[in-house]
Structure formats: structure tokens, C-alpha cells
A and B are shown apart, each in its own frame.
Chain A
Amino acid sequence: MNYFADKQLLVADIFSRYPDSPQGRRSALMPLLREVQDAEGFVSEARMAEIAALCGTTATEVRSVMSFYSTYHTLPTGRYHLQVCSTLMCSLAGSDELWDHLVSALDVQPGDVSADGRFSVQKVECLGSCGTAPVVQINDEGYYENVTRSKCDRLIAAMRADIPPLPDNPVPVTVREDGRQMTATGERVGASIHDRGPLPMPTRPGGEA
């Protein structure tokens, strides 16, 4: 079973964003990984080999790049993938206790998916929301902040009923399907190959800091 076999247009579009050279082809690695992960929830060994063949590299290189980022998963994830920040600030605010509670309440260990297929958990490094520690990110949707034990229980109950509440804050910057970065407010940041041109410059008076 070949994931990209019937997605030639998408593959061509991703490759068109990079220079047409061996090095350029390798650059398409990340969007291809993202594509597979968004569709399947994780990237299996077979997919790694497939992406390697597309990029003209080896599965070892693909796995090396993939394993560098904690956002790519080599193991299947549940419908709700809970990412608990475990860096200093959240740790001081009790993320270890939150993690223990989460793991025992959901009866799931990192790398596993709960029996009903809903939950998987992962410890991640700083999510950049230290002021509202402890923070849990669910899928790529957004941050659930100041997660106390009761808030955690409410969240779990809501997800068990498949009506998760909206996140307290959306993920600050996301990458859209066309490879463009977008802030949570819908503002475009960064450049994209699809609309080359000068970025809108801030028109504030005065010099820059």
C-alpha cells in the first residue's frame, strides 16, 4: 500500500516549493512527513522508506530527521494525543503530578493508545506558555492552560464523550496545507512560494528596537 501513489499532484506541489536539485529534493522531507502524520497519526517504517525514495535519500536519514522532532510519531496515536509540557516552569507548577494523574486515569503509557482508541500521551519540552503552567496541548489544536486536577478530570470526561472543550489558546503559529505559516489570528507570517512579494511592513512611526 503506497500512500503517495494517488497523490501525485500534492507531491508535485510540495516539490515545487524547493529547488530542483538533489539537495532541494531532500528539503521536501518535512512537508511529506507532516502530510503522512496528519493523515495517519504517525509515520510507520514503510512510510519512512516511501518518503526516502521520494526524496532520493535513505530511510535512515528520514528517521534521523523525524526523531529529532518530538511532533513526529513513529507509533500510532489516539484520537486525542495529549502532550504534557514537562520543562521547568510546568514542572514547578506540578506537571509531574498532572502526568501521573493523567496516566493512571487514562490507563495509558507513552507509546500506547488506550483500548478505546481515544487517548495517547506524551511528555514534551517547553510549549512556550510558561505563564499559564502547567500546559497540555491536545493534537495540534491548542493549549489547555493552568490544568489543575479538576480541570484535567473535566477535560478527560469531555473527551470521553467526544465533545472536547475549545482550547484556552490556539497554537500560536501553524503551518497550513500550502506550506504557509499562519498565526492563530489568521495573520500571515513568513513567506510562501505561492504569493511571492514583499511582506507587509509594519507602518509604525519611529525607529525599530
Chain B
Amino acid sequence: MKVTVDGIQVDLPAGTSAIDAVFHAGRDVPYFCAHAYLSPVGACRMCLVEAGTPRKGKDGEFELDEATGQPRVFWMPKPMASCTMQATEGMHIRTARTSDVVAKAQAGMMEFTLLNHPLDCPTCDKGGACELQDRAFEYGYGASRYGFDRRHADKHYALSDFIILDQERCIHCKRCVRYFEEVPGQEVLDFIERGGHTFIDTEEGGLPVGFQGNIADICPVGALLDNVARFRGRNWEYDHTPTTCTLCPVGCSITVDARNGRLERVVAGENRDVNELWICDAGRFGHVFATEERLTVPLVRVGGELREATWDQAVEAMRQGFLGHGGNVGLYLNADSTLEEGAALVALAEAIGTASLDHWPRYAHTPMSTATLTDVATADAVVVLGADLGEEAPVVELRILEALRGGLLPPEFAHGTAIADLRLTERPSRTPEKLAVIGRESRLWGHAGIRVAASGPDALTRLARPDTPELQAALRLLEGAGKPVLILGADVLNGADAAFSAALGSLAGRVGAKVLALPAGANSRGLGGLNLVPGAGGMPYARLDGVGAAFISRLDPAAQGLPGRARGFTVVHDTHLTATAGLADVVLPAVTGYEKRGTTINLEGRLLPLTQAPLRAGEGADLIRALAAVAEALGIRPPVRGLRGAQTWLEGRYGLRLAELPAGGLLQPPRPAQDAATGTAHTPNLWKPRMVPHPERRGSGVLGREARTELWELPMAPAPRPGGDD
């Protein structure tokens, strides 16, 4: 399909919207309501262009221009909104660059949009990264002719504890309303009132925690703001670090915004294959642990209490402590550590000659995963077995819901993801019958056509040999589908063994299903592939009291009710003074996942790069350097002393080339993990206690829920009810 934009001819697939044609041709058009992953609605009317098409005459041939002999272009009488207009064969489009009519129409629309928009950019958190600000500068008149009072409304309206709405700033683009309807499938936000009185509100008593934070990202103005980051810095003051989230195995692309060494904000990054443009609320708001109550210097136990010390003193204390334990040392690390850190730990364990090394959380046996997240999003049947996705891998839930709305992946153009994919519609029809959920009740139940209450690993055997009508329906769903995906969660994987894998393989092979076994930790899949599990005679994480001396990196077994100390000597490497650190002999300061360079493998086996955000971590060191200190204390030369060394080690042993990863990651063929008993079950929990933000404590100036209630809902006055009319 040939389309001409400002005289530039481009070749486009049929069904492309005019706005994508314009951007594909390298031209620009302003827009606020269109969004790459939402349906186009044409609400803001900013993307006006002039459009014209050739017309066929009675003889079925194009009517030709008498002067040039070319097909004559019949221009539409008025400028058209390009986001809702489909480009057609031979269409001609003129943007503001070549058409004065369009330039004037866009400037006029901009003036309308700005009529009621407050001029508080100097105090607005969006300032500097605001679509309205940028487009007003590029396409506006530069001055307003409106000499009257602007609309005044509530500027600090808390939609939830995380999201604050400034009703004056809202330009009614409806992105947030469409987001909630189309992406998480929760109709919790809508326009109230009409005309100039319109505002956004919910009637459900607050937005549901899960995926609400994304509306702060997609808001083109400063109306919806992240309350955790509110008033913490201006956009140009932040150090933006694109990295990968290590809170769950999805590995969402995020941008970490730090200022003065403090992590102030996390915003979603785009990775079309993994998280598209959405991240969960834990990933967005749960970053406060990275700046609060951090451990910044080593601690050494002197006379029964932990005292601040230097690294040299800590190494000396470790040298004393490790004496007499020989090779009876256990090395344990958190499963959100990078592959490089895992390599350093495996190399050190080999140098010491210990079989007690482990990562946590993990499962004793993990079946092979063959499905990617794109497979999930385009599947025609999804069966979720024993998974609480909200706790294990929230974004997988969004990808499943994407499959239920038809599995439409927006096409890619020269400018990236299609801005207006005309196949996406508002209030999409969903196909809940394509989703079966077997397991405990979770948020996904509301979207599933088939729900079966079950628990434990025998859910799979029951699915293979169904004994109830619902299970039979789930099996029929799998059998009748062309591209089914089977998703396995903690509830079934905790008790999984080789027999389970065999049963799973036979079922998946019979129905032609791809399997996605959700790993327990952010990088469990990668670390499992390094055989970072206890060898023969080695003690697993849950039995770390069985080793003489232990090094525990960023794990808190004492808080889990597991033994928190080795028999003789314990070194804890952590970012906070945890319960386990409180029991340790030496505590080394660590860095969080936001401050690391390295590589992680997500649940589909994709290598994703981590970059280091400039956060103040005191003397905190990543695991590779901490292990070098341990090696020094043990009196051996550390086999891996840095990131580059770890990457060389990984390339030499596993052929992984990690130095030059593409930004979107690289899919890695699956590597079977070695089985090893864990001794305890993994209970997924996304929000760790230190992640819960208290906006009031962070000085955002917004009162807590109790204080708000106290202030506004006086006991003698009836509670204010939503006003429908005046």
C-alpha cells in the first residue's frame, strides 16, 4: 500500500493508521490520546492532518488529473484526526509542515486544550517530561487569548495511596480509563460528569493494587502522579538508568530515576517481548528499600555485639572466623543475583572444594520451559496450574489477558511500536473461555472461563486424567487449541520431581502445548543453569546450620523460620540489618539489584542486562567483590575478581556471551537445571516488608488515609457523597 506523506512516498501494510504512516515517513504530528498499546479513540483531536484519496470513476479506473495525467486526489473538506483514520491505497497526507490549514488547526486545538490547563509547570512533577509541554512548545501559538477564569478543581485528589490526581491538569485524553479497561481488565476508572466539569474518578473506594501505577506513566500531562515519587525531584535532575527489574522472574524493563544518590522513582521501560510498556505496582512503588535504612559499612561482632568496622577489619574477622572450618563452608545467595555473581560464587566454591552452595528461592526440580511471553500473549488457550501470578510474576497476568483480547501484538514501524493500532478497540470483547485456572483463588479467577479449586502437585495428574466436568473442560480446551500454553506456578512446582516432568511432558506433547514453569526467584532459571545447587553431601539453604561456616548473601533465613546461623561462623552480606544479619558474626554491606551491572535470565530464558544506577550505598559491595574478600580471608586467590572475569568464566564454561547484549535481551536456549532437594517449600511473596512505601514518611506532603479521613469526614457532617448534579 503506497501512501504519500508530505510528498514522501512510503510503503505500508494494509490497515495502518494515518498517524503511523506520518511517523513512518519521518514526519511528526502531535497527539495526546493515542497510545501504542491502547485503542485509538480520537479524543484529543490534536493529530489533525489533511488527507485525500484518489477516486474511481464509473469505469472502475482512477479519475485522472487532466493536467498531469496522474490520479486526481480528492481532499477531504476538513482536517481529519489521523489516529482513527485508516490509511488507504494512494492516500495523500499533509502535515503541519506543508499545510497551513493543519498548522492552524493544530494550534487552535492546542489553545482549546490549554484553556483550562493550569500554568503550574514550575511546580509540576511532569515538567520537563510532559507531552503537553513539549507539544505546546512545538505546535501551539505560544500565547493564550483566553482572558477569563480557568476551571478550578481539586489539585490533590488521592485516587489511591499510590496515585494522586490533579483534576485541573487533566486534559481528558482517556488514556487511564482505556488502560484500566483494556490492559488489566478492571473497569475502575471513568469520566464523571460531562463537558467542562468532567473529571476522572473511581467508585470502588480506591484503585486496586496490582497495575495501577502504569497510569502515571501514560498520563500525557501531570494529572496522575506517582505519590511515592511526588515532589522528590525534577525530571532533568534525575539520573535515568535503564535497567531490568529483579523483583520477579519476568524481568521487566524499567528506568531507575535517582537524584543525589537516592532512588526516587521507577518508571516502566518498553520491551515489546517482555513487559511491553507495563510494570506491576511492586516494581514501581516497592523501591523504597533501596534508599531506606541501608547498611553502609561492614559490621563485626565484638564482645557479643555488632560494631561498625572497616572492610580490612571485616576481612581480618573473617580470617579468624573461618580458621578451623577448612572446606566446610556453605555459600548461599539470593536467586535475584546476576549470572556473573553466580559464576563468582560457583568458582569460589570449586576453589574451596565445598559442595554446600545454594540459591534461594528455587524448586527441587524445575520442568523445562518452552514458551515465551509472546507465546502466552498469542496463545489460543491458556491453562494456569497452581500459580498466584499476582505474587509470582504479575506481568504474565497482563500477557494472558492480552491473549484473551485476541492476542494482537501491535506492528512495528520505523518509529517503533504502532502508535494507533486500528485493530484494538475500546471495550474489547474478551474470550474468557480460552483461560482455565486450576489452583487456589487468585486475581486471575475473575477473567477465567474455567475455574477449578485445587492445591498441590497432583493438579497436573488430575488435569491429565480429569475427574470433574471442569477439569474435563480444561483438558478439552487444551486438546482443541492450536497454540495452547500451560503455565505452572509455585503450588505445583514445590512438590515437582522427575516423574512430574515426565507427566507434564507427555501431556504437553499430546496436546501440543508449550510450557512456562514460573521460576521461584528472579534469576533462579539462570543460577539453576549454572548448577548453583548443593552437590553430593552439600547442605541446602534450609540446612545451613549443618555447615561449619556460612556466607549468606541477601537472604534472611531467620525471618523465614529457618536456621539463621551456621554451626561455627556466619558471614552475612546484605543491604539491610535483617534478622539473620543480627545473628551473624560479620556483616558485609551489599548493593541492591538497582546498583548492579550484570545479566539475569528471566522466566522465558531471555538474557537481560542490568545497569548500575548511581545510588548512595556507602561501602556496599556487590557479591563478586564480597566473595573476593571472603577468598582473601580464606587465604586463596579468588578465581573471579570482577565482572569481566565472571563473563569470561561464563563464556568459557557455558558459551554465554554477555558483554554485548541487545537492549531488548536475547533469548537463550533452555538449559536443564540440576535437581537438588531444597528441604523447604517456597511461598511466593512479591511485596517484601521493606518494600511497602509510606508516602507520608517520605515527605510527599500528602496525608495518610487516616489523616485524610479525619480531616475531611467530620463526625457531625454526613460523609460527602459523589455529586452528580448541582
Interface residues of A (CB under 8 A from B): 22-23, 43-45, 48, 57-64, 66-68, 70, 72-75, 110-111, 122-123
A-B contact pairs, 18 of them (CB 8 A): A23-B429, A48-B203, A57-B187, A58-B188, A60-B204, A61-B190, A63-B192, A63-B203, A67-B192, A67-B194, A67-B725, A73-B725, A74-B723, A74-B724, A74-B725, A111-B723, A111-B725, A122-B726
A61 and B187 within 8 A (CB): yes
CA distance A58 to B187 in the complex (A): 6
B154 an interface residue at 8 Å Cβ cutoff?
no
Q: How many of B's residues come within 8 Å of A, CB to CB? A: 21
List, in ascending order, chain B residues with CB within 8 A of A60's CB. Answer: 187-190, 201-204
Nearest residue (CB) in B for A72 is B724
CA distance A30 to B191 in the complex (A): 17
CA distance A58 to B186 in the complex (A): 9
Could you tell me which residues of chain B, from 174 to 192, have a CB within 8 Å of some CB in chain A? 186-192
A67 and B724 within 8 A (CB): yes
List, in ascending order, chain A residues with CB within 8 A of B427's CB. Answer: 23
Nearest residue (CB) in B for A48 is B203
CA distance A61 to B202 in the complex (A): 9
B432 to chain A, nearest CB (A): 10
Known A73-B724, A75-B721, A123-B726; contact A59-B203, beta-carbon cutoff 8 A: yes
B39 to chain A, nearest CB (A): 16
CA distance A64 to B726 in the complex (A): 16
List, in ascending order, chain A residues with CB within 8 A of B203's CB. Answer: 45, 48, 58-60, 62-63
* Dominant secondary structure of chain B at its interface with chain A: loop
CA distance A68 to B194 in the complex (A): 5
CA distance A191 to B259 in the complex (A): 64
B260 to chain A, nearest CB (A): 39
Could you tell me which residues of chain B, from 299 to 320, have a CB within 8 Å of some CB in chain A? none
B100 an interface residue at 8 Å Cβ cutoff?
no
Interface residue from B201, B721, B726 paired with A45 (Cβ < 8 Å): B721
Nearest residue (CB) in B for A76 is B721
B193 an interface residue at 8 Å Cβ cutoff?
yes
A96 to chain B, nearest CB (A): 15
List, in ascending order, chain A residues with CB within 8 A of B194's CB. Answer: 67-68
CA distance A111 to B721 in the complex (A): 10
B635 an interface residue at 8 Å Cβ cutoff?
no
Known A58-B187, A60-B187; contact A66-B202, beta-carbon cutoff 8 A: no
A64 and B721 within 8 A (CB): no
Could you tell me which residues of chain B, from 690 to 726, have a CB within 8 Å of some CB in chain A? 721-726
List, in ascending order, chain B residues with CB within 8 A of A58's CB. Answer: 186-188, 203-204
Residue from A44, A60, A73 whose CB has the most chain B CB atoms within 10 Å? A60
CA distance A75 to B719 in the complex (A): 12
A63 and B726 within 8 A (CB): no
CA distance A63 to B202 in the complex (A): 9
Give 1 or 0 for each of B379-406: 1 = CB within 8 Å of chain A CB: 0000000000000000000000000000
A63 and B721 within 8 A (CB): no
A64 and B725 within 8 A (CB): no
B224 to chain A, nearest CB (A): 16
CA distance A75 to B722 in the complex (A): 9
B204 and A70 within 8 A (CB): no
CA distance A122 to B724 in the complex (A): 11
B193 and A67 within 8 A (CB): yes
B724 and A63 within 8 A (CB): yes
Nearest residue (CB) in A for B190 is A64
List, in ascending order, chain A residues with CB within 8 A of B186's CB. Answer: 58
CA distance A44 to B718 in the complex (A): 14
Nearest residue (CB) in A for B177 is A64
CA distance A74 to B722 in the complex (A): 7
List, in ascending order, chain A residues with CB within 8 A of B201's CB. Answer: 60, 63
A123 to chain B, nearest CB (A): 7
Nearest residue (CB) in A for B181 is A61
B204 and A111 within 8 A (CB): no
Could you tell me which residues of chain B, from 190 to 227, have a CB within 8 Å of some CB in chain A? 190-194, 201-204
Nearest residue (CB) in B for A124 is B725
Known A59-B204, A60-B202, A60-B203; contact A45-B722, beta-carbon cutoff 8 A: yes
CA distance A22 to B726 in the complex (A): 33
Given contacts A67-B194, A68-B194, 5 further A-B contacts (CB under 8 A): A60-B189, A60-B190, A60-B201, A63-B203, A74-B723
B722 and A110 within 8 A (CB): no
Give 1 or 0 for each of B282-300: 1 = CB within 8 Å of chain A CB: 0000000000000000000
Residue from A43, A58, A62, A68 whose CB has the most chain B CB atoms within 10 Å? A58
Could you tell me which residues of chain B, from 604 to 621, have a CB within 8 Å of some CB in chain A? none
CA distance A74 to B204 in the complex (A): 16
A55 to chain B, nearest CB (A): 11
List, in ascending order, chain B residues with CB within 8 A of A111's CB. Answer: 723, 725-726
Nearest residue (CB) in B for A44 is B721
A184 to chain B, nearest CB (A): 24
B204 and A122 within 8 A (CB): no
A54 to chain B, nearest CB (A): 15
Could you tell me which residues of chain B, from 253 to 282, have a CB within 8 Å of some CB in chain A? none
B474 to chain A, nearest CB (A): 22
Interface residue from A22, A57, A66, A123 paired with B724 (Cβ < 8 Å): A66
List, in ascending order, chain B residues with CB within 8 A of A75's CB. Answer: 721, 723-725
CA distance A105 to B190 in the complex (A): 38
A68 to chain B, nearest CB (A): 5
CA distance A66 to B725 in the complex (A): 10
List, in ascending order, chain B residues with CB within 8 A of A63's CB. Answer: 190, 192, 201, 203, 722, 724
Known A45-B203, A59-B204, A60-B203; contact A70-B725, beta-carbon cutoff 8 A: yes
Residue from B190, B192, B201, B723 whose CB has the most chain A CB atoms within 10 Å? B190
A74 and B721 within 8 A (CB): yes
List, in ascending order, chain B residues with CB within 8 A of A74's CB. Answer: 721-725
Give 1 or 0 for each of B416-444: 1 = CB within 8 Å of chain A CB: 00000000000101000000000000000
List, in ascending order, chain B residues with CB within 8 A of A72's CB. Answer: 724-725
A61 to chain B, nearest CB (A): 5
Residue from B186, B192, B427 whose CB has the most chain A CB atoms within 10 Å? B192
CA distance A144 to B353 in the complex (A): 98
A47 to chain B, nearest CB (A): 12
Nearest residue (CB) in A for B726 is A110
A156 to chain B, nearest CB (A): 21
List, in ascending order, chain B residues with CB within 8 A of A64's CB. Answer: 190-192
List, in ascending order, chain B residues with CB within 8 A of A43's CB. Answer: 724
List, in ascending order, chain B residues with CB within 8 A of A48's CB. Answer: 203
Nearest residue (CB) in B for A83 is B725
Residue from B201, B722, B725 whose CB has the most chain A CB atoms within 10 Å? B725
List, in ascending order, chain B residues with CB within 8 A of A66's CB. Answer: 724
Nearest residue (CB) in A for B199 is A67
List, in ascending order, chain B residues with CB within 8 A of A123's CB. Answer: 726
